[in-house]
Structure 1
Amino acid sequence: MLVLSEVFDEFLDLKEINPNPSEQAVKRLIEVVGDLPVDQYTRSHAKAFLASYSEQKTSTRRRRLQCLTSILNFAFWEYDIDKRNPFSRIIIKGEGKDATPREPFSVAELKGLYSASLAYGRLRLILPILGETGCRLSEVLGLMKQDVIHTEDLLVINIRENDCRGLKTDNSKRSLPVVSDSATKALQKLLEANSDSPYLFPRYASCGNLNNTGASATLCQHLRKYYNGKTAHCLRHSFRDRLRDCDVPLEAIDQAGGWSSVGGVGTNYGKGYSLPKLADYLRRIAI
């Protein structure tokens, strides 16, 4: 019987997912109870794994458990193991009660943040891009220079899988016009930087690796200090709120942010909004 690390390699080879969260979970389980044959893991092992994350929020603990649940489900089906998954249906005491609600960024806060970021440079150049496109951190952090396209009328970023990172969902793959002056200036600075790397953020992105965790920690440390506990992901929430307040159709909002549409089957028909039309909607909120 294959041990966990061997099954995980096979799991990653077959699944097109971002490997980082699952890798962290597998590494932690091996550290806590060992790299065992997959049919030898028990409920007590799962609880020991959960206890090792006792300092983390319940949402983080749940995500790590879900990673291992998926891997063992794969193993049990693939190798005809007749056993209940010991990592499934675990109750986490107080789950959700430790969540910290965060307010989205105001327009005034965004203007100040963008101005400071453009003056500072380096990693903080990502902030106006995140705020004005609604992209996830990993989507922009893993952008390659060739993903930034100058057309006759529009500046476009192509969110695609590449050698340093995958995408969260099928809807995440998209082309997005950049109409904000702040985001445009940030992209220009990154493209003009003196680097031989094909990536916009070579310190955090390279072939086969994306240091999303390190970048997130650096950005969030700055944002929490000066913006009342807000995080980089709050920019994505603010983006959606701003579009909603400007009466942008839900389908266009979902398309821009790479969200799964909640509008029913019909919303998946066709190619979606054209880039010029999407650009018109984004201009309503551009900073």
Structure 2
Amino acid sequence: MKTISVPYTFTKAGYFYFSRRVPRDLVSQYRSKRVVIALKTRSAHQARALAGANAAKLEAYWVQLRLASSDIPGLHLVKSGVRSNSAYSLVNTVEPVSEDQTTLLDALQIYLRHKAKGRPKTFTAAAERSTAYVIKVAGNKALQEYTRADALKFRDWLVAKGLAGSSVTRNFSHIKAIINFACSELAIEMRNPFSGVFHDRTAGVVARKPIPLESIRNIQAACRDIDDDMRWLVALISDTGMRLAEAAGLLKSDIILDHDTPHVRLIKHPWRNLKTQGSQRLIPLVGDSLWAAERLLQADTASQFAFPRYNRQTTTSANAASAALNKWLSPYVPEGCTMHSFRHSFRDRLRQIECPTEIADQLGGWASYSVGQGYGEGYSLEVLASWISRAA
């Protein structure tokens, strides 16, 4: 039975499966009339992302199949040894024979081969999805053959698709990065036609709202009353400003309580990456965040994870955590506020006590914009604790 909330999927025994009918003109090239793939997840949010990525890959592959089955003008003029325009997978291509023949799919593979190492699967999925979009709109051509008209057509297609301005920006960022990197690697001299394309970046974008301090106090009180692992996660974030994925992917050993300054050590893990280099940091534990950390370590669980329910697979299920916690949080906060709003509130609370920007950036793992901020090891735990205690 198809699901309404997650396109191209159905559920079986609680798990999501990707399902897509093969187009009529390509059925002869398949052993089945339908492509069905187990997504190995019960999370609707995760299934939606995986299904979207699979659908984009299939669209791009079907474009290639159709090109391969059509008559290629001037094929008799192509030099022997040059790779034909036959269909090939997004993930199993090889280096092009000549940079003059480097297509967008070739550029994608060069980009991912070097850039995707150590990155989460979402990095690859996003790059592949944006590439598939361009191929659907303008075809898979040699990089030098793309024009400004193709870029404008791509922009208009994304807007017509209903994407918010921020999503349009992300798609263009991926394509620009892919083309620029391939050109740099292969010494191709060309102007990237996807650079500098105007679009309304604010269209459809909803501003993130901070949670009022009074609401935070009510939420923290509710967390102490209910006193379970989900509420510990909320409380841990409430006075630290951590991102939800950062907190959900913690090990128990990342929580250091036997120290003069109790703190959380945020580092990269194979199951949960960090957003930026500056996201790796130490955060003092105070107030309700300290209470939550103590309850976590007192919990009688055999797991090494602080939150086992969100780390049952190879990656931290941050989307599942977000869906469940946002639903619980809804009655306590103004409309438009989510778990991520704690992070906005954290910054505002630091502003209210006139916390220096450099300290606020270090506490929240926000990017630094000054060369001087990159010098030295940063502020000590004791200094950070004095400021975060005042904010809490």
TM range (shorter): 0.7 to 0.9
Question: What do the CA deviations read for 1:91-118 (whole angstroms, capped 9, x no partner)?
Answer: 33x3214332344212210011122234
Once residues 37 and 146 of structure 1 are traced to their aligned partners in structure 2, the CA distance between those partners, rounded to angstroms, is 50
State the one-letter code of the partner of 1:101.
Answer: A
User: Which residue pairs with 2:125 in the alignment?
Assistant: 23
Once residues 221 and 64 of structure 1 are traced to their aligned partners in structure 2, the CA distance between those partners, rounded to angstroms, is 29
Once residues 124 and 60 of structure 1 are traced to their aligned partners in structure 2, the CA distance between those partners, rounded to angstroms, is 31
Given that 1:3 and 1:36 are in contact with CA atoms closer than 8 Å, whether structure 2 keeps it comes out as no
User: In the superposition, relative to structure 1, how do residues 97 and 33 fare at CA in structure 2: closer, same or farther (>3 Å)?
Assistant: closer
User: Which residue pairs with 2:228 in the alignment?
Assistant: 121
Once the 2 structures are TM-superposed, how far is the Cα of residue 22 of structure 1 from its aligned partner? 4.7
Once residues 194 and 321 of structure 2 are traced to their aligned partners in structure 1, the CA distance between those partners, rounded to angstroms, is 30
Once residues 36 and 229 of structure 1 are traced to their aligned partners in structure 2, the CA distance between those partners, rounded to angstroms, is 40
Radius of gyration: which is bigger? Answer: 2
Once residues 135 and 159 of structure 2 are traced to their aligned partners in structure 1, the CA distance between those partners, rounded to angstroms, is 11
State the one-letter code of the partner of 2:242.
Answer: C
Given that 2:218 and 2:332 are in contact with CA atoms closer than 8 Å, whether structure 1 keeps it comes out as no
User: In the superposition, relative to structure 1, how do residues 113 and 71 fare at CA in structure 2: closer, same or farther (>3 Å)?
Assistant: farther
**Structural mapping, 1:267-278, within 5 Å:** 267-278=373-384
Once residues 33 and 152 of structure 1 are traced to their aligned partners in structure 2, the CA distance between those partners, rounded to angstroms, is 55
Matched, 1:162 2:265: no
User: Which residue pairs with 2:185 in the alignment?
Assistant: 78
User: Which residue pairs with 2:326 in the alignment?
Assistant: 220
State the one-letter code of the partner of 1:167.
Answer: L
TM-score (norm 1): 0.81
User: Match of 1:203, SS?
Assistant: helix
Matched, 1:211 2:313: no
Once residues 251 and 65 of structure 1 are traced to their aligned partners in structure 2, the CA distance between those partners, rounded to angstroms, is 31
Question: What do the CA deviations read for 1:140-168 (whole angstroms, capped 9, x no partner)?
Answer: 12222221112332321111111123222
User: In the superposition, relative to structure 1, how do residues 214 and 7 fare at CA in structure 2: closer, same or farther (>3 Å)?
Assistant: farther
User: Which residue pairs with 2:169 in the alignment?
Assistant: 62
User: In the superposition, relative to structure 1, how do residues 221 and 24 fare at CA in structure 2: closer, same or farther (>3 Å)?
Assistant: farther
User: Which residue pairs with 1:137 in the alignment?
Assistant: 244
State the one-letter code of the partner of 1:163.
Answer: P
Moved more, 230-239 or 100-109: 100-109
RMSD: 3.3
User: Which residue pairs with 2:114 in the alignment?
Assistant: 11
User: In the superposition, relative to structure 1, how do residues 162 and 232 fare at CA in structure 2: closer, same or farther (>3 Å)?
Assistant: same
Once the 2 structures are TM-superposed, how far is the Cα of residue 194 of structure 1 from its aligned partner? 4.9
Once residues 223 and 87 of structure 1 are traced to their aligned partners in structure 2, the CA distance between those partners, rounded to angstroms, is 41
Once the 2 structures are TM-superposed, how far is the Cα of residue 256 of structure 1 from its aligned partner? 0.8
Given that 1:50 and 1:61 are in contact with CA atoms closer than 8 Å, whether structure 2 keeps it comes out as no
List gaps (5 residues or longer) in structure 1.
none
**Identical residues among aligned pairs (%):** 31
User: In the superposition, relative to structure 1, how do residues 124 and 75 fare at CA in structure 2: closer, same or farther (>3 Å)?
Assistant: farther
User: Which residue pairs with 1:150 in the alignment?
Assistant: 257
Once residues 315 and 115 of structure 2 are traced to their aligned partners in structure 1, the CA distance between those partners, rounded to angstroms, is 14
Given that 2:164 and 2:203 are in contact with CA atoms closer than 8 Å, whether structure 1 keeps it comes out as no
Given that 2:244 and 2:340 are in contact with CA atoms closer than 8 Å, whether structure 1 keeps it comes out as yes
Count of paired positions? 282
Matched, 1:95 2:197: no
Once the 2 structures are TM-superposed, how far is the Cα of residue 176 of structure 1 from its aligned partner? 1.3
Once residues 385 and 301 of structure 2 are traced to their aligned partners in structure 1, the CA distance between those partners, rounded to angstroms, is 30
Once residues 144 and 49 of structure 1 are traced to their aligned partners in structure 2, the CA distance between those partners, rounded to angstroms, is 45
User: Match of 2:309, SS?
Assistant: coil
Once residues 214 and 206 of structure 1 are traced to their aligned partners in structure 2, the CA distance between those partners, rounded to angstroms, is 12
User: Which residue pairs with 2:297 in the alignment?
Assistant: 191
Once residues 116 and 362 of structure 2 are traced to their aligned partners in structure 1, the CA distance between those partners, rounded to angstroms, is 29
Matched, 1:171 2:274: no
User: In the superposition, relative to structure 1, how do residues 24 and 268 fare at CA in structure 2: closer, same or farther (>3 Å)?
Assistant: closer
User: In the superposition, relative to structure 1, how do residues 26 and 40 fare at CA in structure 2: closer, same or farther (>3 Å)?
Assistant: farther
Once residues 52 and 29 of structure 1 are traced to their aligned partners in structure 2, the CA distance between those partners, rounded to angstroms, is 16
Once residues 30 and 102 of structure 1 are traced to their aligned partners in structure 2, the CA distance between those partners, rounded to angstroms, is 30
TM-score (norm 2): 0.62
Once residues 77 and 209 of structure 1 are traced to their aligned partners in structure 2, the CA distance between those partners, rounded to angstroms, is 33
Given that 2:237 and 2:342 are in contact with CA atoms closer than 8 Å, whether structure 1 keeps it comes out as yes
User: In the superposition, relative to structure 1, how do residues 53 and 234 fare at CA in structure 2: closer, same or farther (>3 Å)?
Assistant: farther
Once the 2 structures are TM-superposed, how far is the Cα of residue 240 of structure 1 from its aligned partner? 1.2
State the one-letter code of the partner of 2:352.
Answer: D
User: In the superposition, relative to structure 1, how do residues 178 and 60 fare at CA in structure 2: closer, same or farther (>3 Å)?
Assistant: same
Given that 2:176 and 2:194 are in contact with CA atoms closer than 8 Å, whether structure 1 keeps it comes out as yes
User: Match of 1:175, SS?
Assistant: strand
Question: What do the CA deviations read for 1:6-38 (whole angstroms, capped 9, x no partner)?
Answer: 335413345x55552552342464378479587
Select 2:217's aligned residue among 81, 104, 111: 111
Moved more, 55-64 or 127-136: 55-64
Question: What do the CA deviations read for 1:152-193 (whole angstroms, capped 9, x no partner)?
Answer: 32321111111123222222111111012x112222333344
User: Match of 2:360, SS?
Assistant: helix
Q: Which has the higher contact order (CA 8 A, sep 6+)?
A: 1
Matched, 1:234 2:341: yes
State the one-letter code of the partner of 2:375.
Answer: Y
